[in-house]
Structure 1
Amino acid sequence: MKIKIDIIDAFTDVRFKGNSAAVIITDTWLPDELMQSIAIENNLSETAFVKRLNTQDYQIRWFSPITEIDFCGHATLAASFVIFKEHKGLEEIRFTAKAVGEVVITKSYDSYIQMSFPNRMPQKLKSVPTALIEGLSIKPVDVLRNEQAYVVVYRDSCDVISVEKDDEILKRLAPFDVVVTAKGNNVEGEYDFISRYFWPANGGGEDPVTGSIHTGLAPYWSARLDKNELKAYQASARGGELLCRVDGERVYISGKAVQYLEGVIHL
């Protein structure tokens, strides 16, 4: 059996930047064990498996090399890029996934693709896990958490860029990951906020660009900065840009994408 595969660099328009995701679109689900094996073989942050219902409606699942992931933004962007490329007349598509329900994807201006996600505002913690303090080289100013990750707030963007982590200690926080963030001062590009994302328990050491966590970061910084439209930068080695808009219970995340590979898997 042969299955088409695309690899897309998401949240960038420059090849070899942003976050790479593999996209596999089928009419029926592959067995779970096979999907996990393919994700391990791809060895990317995520492989998106998409079940086609019709031209506009799809179901989507995401697998890291370690496990199935509840919610992945950059692989959703990558899958949307592939579908829009194959159906050039489409302006809107819809994905459904268990953790986030229906996600409406639309073509936006200047090659941006906009994704509508639930608002996952983090909440302040009364007590901070010891593993979180011990696993990071810089102490937080504040710590919050949402359904996905601990949100570590730093005073300055330089702290986000320079912080070092201990993966073995941070693994103790499973099933939660860790995002560190600060206001975007001292960073080129005039970003409202920046971040880095660590997920040793679920995917690897550091994720290059994490669309899903911005459904929590954007509402947090929207409230802090008193603005609904924000420009974000994830300061990994590859780096990526995200445009965020907070509108009540929805967070709209937009990004660009570029094709890296189109190929065939032999099964």
Structure 2
Amino acid sequence: MKTYFVDSFTNEKFKGNPAAVCLPDTELDAESMQNIATEIGFSETAFIKQIKNNTYSIRFFSPKTEIPLCGHATLASSKILFSTTALNSIKFINCDNVELNIEKEANKIKMQFPVYDTEQTEVPQKLLDALGISETVEKRYSPNNKIILLEIESAKELANLNPDFTALINSHTGINGVLVTAVSDNENFDFHYRYFWPWAGTNEDPVTGGIQTFLTKYWAIKLNKTKLNAYQSSQRTGTMSTELLQDKVYILGEAVIVLEGEFIL
């Protein structure tokens, strides 16, 4: 099975978020895809298969479970198809039959994702303690993603968070992850964020695109602007631009191919 490793949301190798992209020649069952994703060990592995013309099915697996939507693995899959075919646009269909429309835009890849709302929520104090957060500006929840959103005051505090992941995973059940965000202290960006998801994937996702389905709208309302620049202040770091248009969010990013090979099934 043709397999690629791609660093997403960066133009530098060994930065951004690594994803595996697999192109199976035959149908794989979910157990096989999960085993492959667990073996590779990246936060997500994407499996893409052509349906017709520029339309492809896409499925995402973390080392632990199938994920309905993943931004950086969609970007990685798009990079592979744009690099190995003559396509200028792609339509991916995920496991929930959500259509993801992708286009080339100069040296970047433009992805269209749905927009989801968030709602006010309360979180256990032990979750905040596990993250090392003493005060929050806002606490919200995305039901579609099963992700808690916490806004804190300082981008510097965000970058310095060092969670106790054993305590974190024991502090809550029934969620996929916790997103912590803060307004940027850098004029080149509007907001910073980090994403912790030991419940469904790895301890921390290096760069996360899928959360822009609700995070872009959150900051667009707060900052009263529809075009935003985001910085993920993980150890590997990553950047992207987003644009909110009613019920759609556009995510623009770059990606670098770092490995091409074959997975022996």
TM tier, smaller? over 0.9
- The equivalent of 1:181 in structure 2 is 181
Note the C-alpha offset of 1:248.
Answer: 0.3
2:93 to 96, 112, 116: 96
| Change over 3 Å in CA distance of 1:28–1:131 after alignment to 2 | farther
- The equivalent of 1:158 in structure 2 is 156
CA distance in 1, matches of 2:190, 2:126: 29
Question: Where in structure 2 are the equivalents of 1:36-115 lying within 5 Å?
Answer: 36-88=34-86, 90-99=87-96, 101-109=98-106, 111-115=107-111
| Change over 3 Å in CA distance of 1:234–1:99 after alignment to 2 | farther
Equivalent AA in structure 1 for residue 200 of structure 2: N
CA distance in 2, matches of 1:210, 1:28: 29
2:117 to 118, 121, 125: 121
Question: TM-score w.r.t. structure 2 length?
Answer: 0.94
CA distance in 2, matches of 1:28, 1:129: 46
Count how many residue pairs are aligned between Structure 1 and Structure 2. Answer: 260
Note the C-alpha offset of 1:100.
Answer: 6.4
The gaps in structure 2 that reach 5 residues or longer are none
Higher deviation after alignment, 255-264 or 27-36: 27-36
- The equivalent of 1:135 in structure 2 is 130
CA distance in 2, matches of 1:193, 1:28: 42
Contact 1:7 1:260 in 2 (8 A): yes
CA distance in 2, matches of 1:27, 1:103: 22
Note the C-alpha offset of 1:27.
Answer: 4.7
Q: Deviations over 1:48-94 (max 9, x none)?
A: 01121123001111011111112111000000110111113x21110
Equivalent AA in structure 1 for residue 91 of structure 2: R
SS of corresponding position for 1:233: strand
CA distance in 1, matches of 2:162, 2:250: 30
SS of corresponding position for 2:52: coil
1:30 to 28, 31, 48: 28
SS of corresponding position for 1:210: coil
Note the C-alpha offset of 1:190.
Answer: 1.5
CA distance in 1, matches of 2:153, 2:96: 32
CA distance in 2, matches of 1:117, 1:28: 28
Note the C-alpha offset of 1:176.
Answer: 2.6
What's the Cα RMSD here? Answer: 1.4
CA distance in 2, matches of 1:247, 1:157: 26
CA distance in 2, matches of 1:65, 1:155: 32
Equivalent AA in structure 1 for residue 14 of structure 2: F
CA distance in 2, matches of 1:38, 1:203: 14
CA distance in 2, matches of 1:242, 1:211: 8
Contact 1:6 1:262 in 2 (8 A): yes
